[in-house]
Chains A and B, each alone.
Chain A
Amino acid sequence: MKKFSWRGLSIIIFICVTAFYLAPLAIPNLPGWWSNHVLKLGLDLKGGMQILLEVDTSELSAADARGAVDQNIKIIRERIDQFGVAEPSIQKLGENRIMVQLPGVSDFQAAENLIKQTAMLEFKVVANPDETRRVLDSIDANVNANLDRFPALKELAELDRELLEEADDEASSDLGIFSSLIRPGQMDYEVQFDSVRLVQELLGNADFVQMIPAGWQLALERANAENPRADRPIHVLSSAVELSGADIARARVEYGSATSTDPRIANKPYVSIEMKREGARKFERVTADNVGRRLAIVLDGVVYSAPNIQERIGGGRAQITGRFTTSEANELSIVLNTGNLIAPISPASTSIIGATLGSDSIRSGSTAGLIGLAIVMVFMLIYYKLSGLITDFALIFNVGFVLAMLTAFGGTLTLPGIAGIILTIGMAVDANVLVFERIREELDHGKTPRSAVDAGYKRATITVWDANITTLIAAAVLYQFGTGPIRGFAITLTIGIIGSMFCALVFVRSIFDTFIVTGTKKSLSI
């Protein structure tokens, strides 16, 4: 009767654990608690999007900054949940970075906008035509007096002067240089498409903002999605914020009826908002005070719509229209519902991987792996005969073990991870080769199989440890300094090395021992 051995027990545990975690990959109808443990694929294999966001906390106190990052994560998570992504991962990295991974997302632009949008919603009163004219005139006067501070405008002014001299047209020579960029449209002043960029730059320029008379501000209207090269209206707004995003209770997408007379709504999605009690009161007061004027709905500094206030509006309901597509309207309503980000965020890096590329990578990665595995196995079989066959079994177990451990620890399989597995196939035989070569030497010295195996293992074990620990050190450093896919590589490499040592020193050895102790063979097939 064979006595109990720790080695035998460890092999049984090894095989059971491997089988447990690999079963969900092979068998379809397992109970939920079991099939939940399934190997996850990384973004580079599945396709999807990863954004590393940097939270700008420079304007917050240290205590607020810490809270702000967490609060932002909460808001982003809510937005993504409402957007509907399976298994998103949102993690805090370091002090003020957020890593967002959205596997399987296909509408990259929408997802990015959704996350990035700060969504500062403001309601502001639009200046009436007289006020608008006055504000523009005073901007012109201010800019003219400080023309040196705006090189782009100065250049334009000189160009104009030359043209005017040629035309000898004195009537329009008093037109200010800023006003020359905009022209009266049907309802509002409009900026020609060619000048939009210049105007946007000016509006973002702190020097230029000083040129605008106090109490007023300028804002462009949203670009027309159907006709992106169309002229864009520009509005002069009172800078007082009448209502903000904080006053909103709920936002939702609705569709305008086909018969509506407003082309912004007819048959198009729009976002209807419901205000909180306090907001509704404010809204009522603003509309009452400004009947006959227009109220602009401004989101992140861009005017979405500026409807006329025809009468006092109670009940706290309003609509944001602006020629939305359905998905845009959806995003906006999500962002309004989830609130403003506490601190501004900007993407530090973005990766997008199409689903096709991912599945191509899986296919070519596994092809390469199988071919490499097959060649190594055939070689081992020819070179070491029966012992090679044992190693081949161990090799297959080793690959299974790597996949099983990845599943067990909730790791993800990435493309570099596959490369790591393939490389460990090549390296895993190393421990066996070391031992086998040693056994052959001992046999050459005339030892019996039994003592050759013992001596071979005894001598080679130290070498196996020495050699593998250095690779483990390299893998640990990789893990520490790498991100995402590279960590995947380091993890598979580490598991592969540990597995291969176990296979060589415990698994193969026990087969050897059992075989030689119970067998009657006097020679060793090696």
Chain B
Amino acid sequence: MRLFNNTNIPFVKYRKIAYVISLILIVAGLIGLFARGLNWSIDFTSGVAAKVNLTALDSSVEPIQIDELRNVLKNNGYPEAEIQHVGPVQDASFMIKIKSETADAEVSGNAKNEILSIITENFPKHVEGMDINQDVIEEIYEVGPKVGSELRTNAILAVVIALILMIIYIWFRFELLFGLMAIAALAHDVIIIMGIFALTGKEITIQIIAALLTIVGYSINDTIVIFDRIREDLKIRRKEPLDEVINFSLNETLSRTVITSGTTLITALSLNLFGGIVLNDFAFAICLGVIIGTYSSIYISSSLVIDLTHATKKEKRTAQKLSGRR
């Protein structure tokens, strides 16, 4: 079975359209990043996140409404608490998040114990007969300000260092221009994905940073396979114009690109659908990354190589002309 047999899709011809689409996506992403900013999770901002299960053992007890919980926490000194319902509606499972307002202001080291005691005091019926430690707490994260800001620095550093190392590797294996264009395509992917996260208000957790780095590794992988082929074809088809050679290489590698992206997307989707709440956003980021990364490897990185080669050649030619006249 073959999905793509001797295709000849004029990718290169339509590259301007791709540029426009990418430009729109990037601008939208940047607007999202600057206007709304990223929603850093407490891993990075410091604070407390607690997931508690307040489903009463006695089924005759009315389930806690989210507003009740919000009011109780508000009246007990936590007006800034963000509360979300987790899972099915009949389960009174809540995620309570209290972020430090600024990086320096520390959420008290005792916040998690205070929240728990506020809950047990105010909802005695709902926690009756349950062991707070074993039945009520599903997970709690408490992050101090020092660790939070360190992590944020590390996360940004990690992404930047990964990008630099890849430029160096591709520079070493191909040409600097290829390396730079591959990274331009990567930056394109990262900006769009971060933009989507900013616009949807999804949290940037440590796992999302991990997903981002995986995408960086994955998307460059696609680009390199295509570049490899271009390099090979350039040797064989010396006489043909660059545009056609690159278009030929893109078509040759198309089935591989689509199949690999497809299998990765399948596994990422299955993680997204069946992997549980904890991995949901992580898998979402990977899915986005696979789609955008594949698109950018086909349309952006090679196209940029073409246009930049043209630009530099034109300069050379005009330079030659100018010197010739003189």
Contact = CB atoms under 8 A, between A and B. Distances in A.
Interface of A: 44, 52, 54, 106-109, 346-357, 360-361, 363-365, 367-369, 371-373, 375-376, 379-380, 382-383, 385, 415-416, 419, 422-423, 425-427, 429-430, 433-434, 437, 440-441, 459, 462-463, 466-475, 477-478, 480-483, 485-486, 489-490, 493
A349 B267 contact: no
Given A352-B139, A375-B266, A109 B113 contact: yes
Given A426-B265, A474-B217, A372 B271 contact: yes
Given A360-B276, A466-B228, 9 more contacts: A106-B134, A347-B144, A353-B138, A354-B138, A364-B274, A427-B218, A427-B221, A477-B165, A485-B207
Contacts of A467: 221-222, 224-225, 228
Interface of B: 1-3, 51, 109, 112-113, 131, 133-134, 137-144, 146-148, 151, 154-155, 157-158, 161-162, 165-166, 169-170, 173, 206-207, 209-210, 213-214, 216-218, 220-222, 224-225, 228-229, 232, 252-253, 255-256, 259-260, 262-271, 273-276, 278-279, 282-283, 286
Contact of B217 (A368, A462, A475): A475
A350 B142 contact: yes
Contacts of B131: 106
> Is the contact region of chain A dominated by helix, strand, or loop, or is it mixed?
helix
B146 to A, nearest CB: 6
Among A360, A367, A423, A483, find the residue whose CB has the most chain B CB atoms closer than 10 A.
Answer: A423
Contact of A486 (B210, B263, B267): B210
Contacts of A371: 270, 274
B272 to A, nearest CB: 8
Given A419-B283, A473-B166, A481-B155, A349 B133 contact: no
Contact of A352 (B137, B222, B268, B282): B137
A144 to B, nearest CB: 30
A459 B231 CA distance: 12
Contact of B282 (A106, A416, A429, A434): A416
A349 B206 CA distance: 14
A354 B134 contact: yes
B271 A422 contact: yes
A20 B173 CA distance: 38
Contacts of B154: 481
A379 B225 CA distance: 22
Contact of B267 (A415, A423, A481, A483): A423
Nearest to A423: B267
Given A426-B266, A474-B216, A348 B157 contact: no
Contact of A463 (B142, B158, B161, B228): B228
Nearest to A385: B1
Given A106-B134, A416-B282, A365 B139 contact: no
B140 A433 contact: no
Nearest to B283: A419
A354 B137 contact: yes
B256 A433 contact: yes
A368 B218 contact: no
A470 B266 contact: no
9 contacts: A106-B134, A351-B140, A369-B271, A419-B282, A466-B225, A470-B170, A474-B214, A481-B158, A486-B210
A233 B89 CA distance: 46
Nearest to A367: B274
A372 B267 CA distance: 4
Contacts of B209: 486
Contacts of B221: 427, 430, 467-468, 470-471
A351 B139 contact: yes
A507 B228 CA distance: 24
Contacts of A356: 138
A375 B270 contact: yes
B147 A349 contact: yes
Contacts of B147: 52, 348-349
The 10 closest A-B pairs by CB, nearest first: A474-B217, A364-B276, A426-B264, A372-B267, A426-B267, A471-B217, A372-B270, A481-B158, A368-B275, A368-B274
Contact of A350 (B112, B252, B259): B112
Contacts of B2: 440
Contacts of A440: 2
Contacts of A373: 267
A483 B155 CA distance: 11
B263 A379 contact: yes
Contact of A477 (B144, B148, B170, B213): B213
